[in-house]
Amino acid sequence: MIIEKRLQFNAAITALKPIEGKRVAIVDAEATVRFFKLDPVDLLGGFKTSIEQDPHLLQGTDISRDGRFVAFSVKKGGVAVFSGIHKRLIYRFKRHEGDVESLCIGDRHDYLATGGQDGKTFLWSLVTGRMVASLPHHADFVTAIDFSPNGQWVATGSFDRKIQVTNISSLSRHFRLRGHGGAINVVKFIGGHRLVAADKSGEIVVWDYFEQKVIKRLRKMLDEVTSFCVTPDDRFLFAADRSGLVSLYDLESYEMLSLRYLNYGKPIRKIAYAETGNYLIVGLDNGEVTFNSPLKESDKMEEAIASGDLAEAYRLAEENPLLRYSRPYTRLQMLWEDAFERAIALLEEGRREEAKRVLEPFSADSAKRLSIQQLMQDYRMYEKFKTAVENRKYQLAYSLAAQYPMLKRNRHYRKMEEEWRSVFAKAKKIILQNGGEERVRELLKPFRGISSKSVPIQTMLAEREIYKLFMKLVQKRDYKGAIELAKRYPAIRELEEYRKIERLADAIAHKARVELEKGHYAETARLASQLLEFPNRRDLAEELKEEANLYASAMRYFAEKNYDAIYRMLEHYPILEDTQIVKNLEEAWQKVVKQGELYASRGDAAALARIFAPFMHMPQKRYKIISLFKQAYIEQIEKAPPEATERAIDNYLKLFGLDDEIGSWLRMRGKIGAYEGLEPRDVGEIEPASLPADIVTGEEL
């Protein structure tokens, strides 16, 4: 692995994040923040704080994607947020009972999530510096947090071995994921509504959080997982552990490509993948940071191929499995295929030593070496096989090909197969004629007794009427009937006509998926209806038809400005979240929310009522709207004269009960005692339109 840059700091690395402007931010346990430019790596600047961190926290520090905010979990002191631009403290948050165990800054909407030892997670606005929501609780410390790339969801993991996934746009939807055997250490959203989570046992699980089910349990790492990162296309996952290993996984096949992709022999705290320069950045417990360049080795592979040093090219691919997906490796594979075909031609001419020399450069790869050995061994029988084919002793020829499979690569085998297809095609026509059985037997005589051909031959001869019926169904394009017949008589599946039906169904399914992605919903529905004619594709056809109808309905509702209907659909069909319609709707909603957060930070409940008036009747928006009213009321309580504070708190409790928002505020001020034991009220029972403009006076909106 090429290491482009190695840095050494005085303390453990606590945060490591690629940020906008082709930069990376690095924070150490001494609360020193440094910014580096990438490609080449060079220090741009930074600042040091006096924050005391807990060095054992895996997620006690984070930096916003734009570098504007740096958040620290302060030992026995809540959370401190610094301006990354002005290098000064801008916010102090302290609402949790006990220390903050984890925190994360979202890439969008300027939110900070903090998870505490109290099992609670609070959402903060980094624009207003105010708490904007309390998320579903855990039964133990909240140890891991991540925001989805689109800013819609936040995932929290806990010592209680559970994961909560909450929609922060509405606060009305959340999923609980159970299935880990240990405390959750790391969570990370990836594409396709998936979430990757690791626990203290080293187990890594890929979840479909919409369906609340496990997609795959990946091969375990050797120690406790400490950090994740993925390549920009979400294809590969890197996972680091306390033993110092970085493992590599393919997120398409879910296979571990390399357990020891990198081995530092020292605990790893953070890893990150920077698209600029394609760096895999690793931060260690001893303060060391390395900028690895896994893809730059492709240049070395290219040079090795150009110089003919294929052993070096394969060595590089063995050490770095990512190179197997690079252009140079594709070229290497093409060279192998060409060499293999040339070697076969030489072996057919009896030039065995020349064939060995042609393939020798590829023997450095273990898989290729086995193929070469088998080729050389199998082609010792080539002359016998060739003679059998030329004399039309096909039973012997097929037997040899089954025993020595490399013989299937030569032109004589292909010629024999072409003759089989031609003869069988003629036989299929003759068998449909009266008295055609004897002619068919004579025509197929050279292929009788061959195991791979006996099934279709016997089907034609022994079940002539069934075969005739199948052919008639195919000619009439009654694919449903043909497939149902094949279910009862499995031998039919060996026929080329049946394979053509399968290929046709695959083609229709592929075209339907393409049309769906293009937004051509009517055409998708039409193709899905066609696919229903194939019983073995019915489930897929129904799925495509349902998606097409969903998208079409969403488009219609959007055109009618019936946004309530779209939100209702979204509750039941989260897949709509990826449509442009919902993205546009969400963007408009977020603008209103941001304005609402600003009004809430000022305690202006009347303004909240005004801007949220079009959404008050939507159950899906109730939780978010009420959450902002709560923040506005707490601001009003803070600003109320001392003699009115108790009355204002009582009014709040009458409306909402002792919820997280007021409860954390009261504890912070030592006033919780008088109210301990009160229960929070179910927000679903509260109508936003009935809330007062002033919590102190109870003045109506």
Out of 278, 307, 342, pick the residue that ends a domain.
Answer: 278
Q: What is the mean pLDDT of residues 120-143?
A: 95
pLDDT of 659 reads 93
The pLDDT of residue 692 is above 70: yes
pLDDT by residue (tens digit) across 330-383? 999 999 999 999 999 999 999 999 999 999 999 989 899 999 999 999 999 999
pLDDT of 84 reads 94
Out of 249, 278, 307, pick the residue that ends a domain.
Answer: 278
Range of the domain at 389: 365-449
Residue 178 lies in a domain: yes
Q: Model-level pTM?
A: 0.83
**How far, in Å, CA of 428 to CA of 430, rounded?**
6
Both 383 and 322 in one domain: the answer is no
Both 175 and 108 in one domain: the answer is yes
The CATH number covering residue 138 comes to 2.130.10.10
pLDDT of 519 reads 83
- pLDDT band for 29, please (50, 70, 90 cuts): very high
Residue 571 lies in a domain: no
Q: What is the 3-state secondary structure (H, E, C) of 291-312?
A: EECCCCHHHHHHHHHHHCCHHH
Residue 221 lies in a domain: yes
pLDDT of 325 reads 87
Both 606 and 663 in one domain: the answer is yes
Out of 424, 449, 474, pick the residue that ends a domain.
Answer: 449
pLDDT of 56 reads 86
Contacts of 549 (CB under 8 A, 6+ apart): 521, 525
**How far, in Å, CA of 528 to CA of 549, rounded?**
11
Do 228 and 237 touch, CB atoms closer than 8 A? yes
Least Cα distance to 524 among 548, 556, 508 occurs for 548
Q: What is the mean pLDDT of residues 25-49?
A: 95
Residue 28 lies in a domain: no
Lowest mean pLDDT among 59-73, 259-273, 341-355, 687-701: 687-701
Both 487 and 606 in one domain: the answer is no
Alpha carbon distances (Å) from 284 to 10, 42, 184, 299, 507? 11, 19, 21, 28, 50
Do 648 and 696 touch, CB atoms closer than 8 A? yes
- pLDDT band for 600, please (50, 70, 90 cuts): very high
Residue 75 lies in a domain: yes
pLDDT of 334 reads 95
Q: What is the mean pLDDT of residues 6-15?
A: 95
Both 217 and 133 in one domain: the answer is yes
Both 97 and 206 in one domain: the answer is yes
Do 149 and 137 touch, CB atoms closer than 8 A? no
Both 302 and 273 in one domain: the answer is no
Rounded percentage of the chain residues whose pLDDT exceeds 70: 99
Both 433 and 308 in one domain: the answer is no
Both 137 and 174 in one domain: the answer is yes
The pLDDT of residue 461 is above 80: no
The pLDDT of residue 117 is above 50: yes
**Mean pLDDT over the full length of the chain:** 91
Three-class secondary structure of residue 187 per DSSP: strand
**How far, in Å, CA of 427 to CA of 421, rounded?**
10
Residue 37 lies in a domain: no
Three-class secondary structure of residue 105 per DSSP: strand
Buried b (16+ CB within 10 A) or exposed e, 615-652: beebebbbbbbbbbbbbbbbbbbeebeeebbeebbebb
- When mean pLDDT is compared over 359-363, 432-436, 449-453, the highest value belongs to 359-363
Alpha helices for 286-410 (secondary structure H): 297-307, 310-319, 327-348, 352-359, 366-378, 382-390, 394-403
Both 347 and 432 in one domain: the answer is no
Both 603 and 467 in one domain: the answer is no
Residue 568 lies in a domain: no
Q: Is 687 exposed, middle or buried (0-12, 13-18, 19+ CB in 10 A)?
A: exposed
Alpha carbon distances (Å) from 428 to 424, 470, 479, 490? 6, 11, 19, 18
The pLDDT of residue 1 is above 80: no
The pLDDT of residue 462 is above 80: no
**What is the rounded (10 degree) CA torsion for 239, 240, 246, 250?**
0
pLDDT by residue (tens digit) across 535-562? 889 999 998 998 899 888 888 888 888 8
The pLDDT of residue 701 is above 50: no
**How far, in Å, CA of 289 to CA of 271, rounded?**
9
pLDDT of 266 reads 94
pLDDT by residue (tens digit) across 497-532? 888 999 999 999 999 999 988 888 889 999 999 999
Please state the domain count of the chain: 5
Residue 574 lies in a domain: no
- pLDDT band for 99, please (50, 70, 90 cuts): very high
- Amino acid, single-letter form, for residue 478: D
**The residue count for the chain:** 701
pLDDT of 571 reads 80
**How far, in Å, CA of 667 to CA of 673, rounded?**
8
**How far, in Å, CA of 273 to CA of 237, rounded?**
10
Both 154 and 254 in one domain: the answer is yes
Q: Distance between the two ends of the chain, CA-based, in angstroms?
A: 65
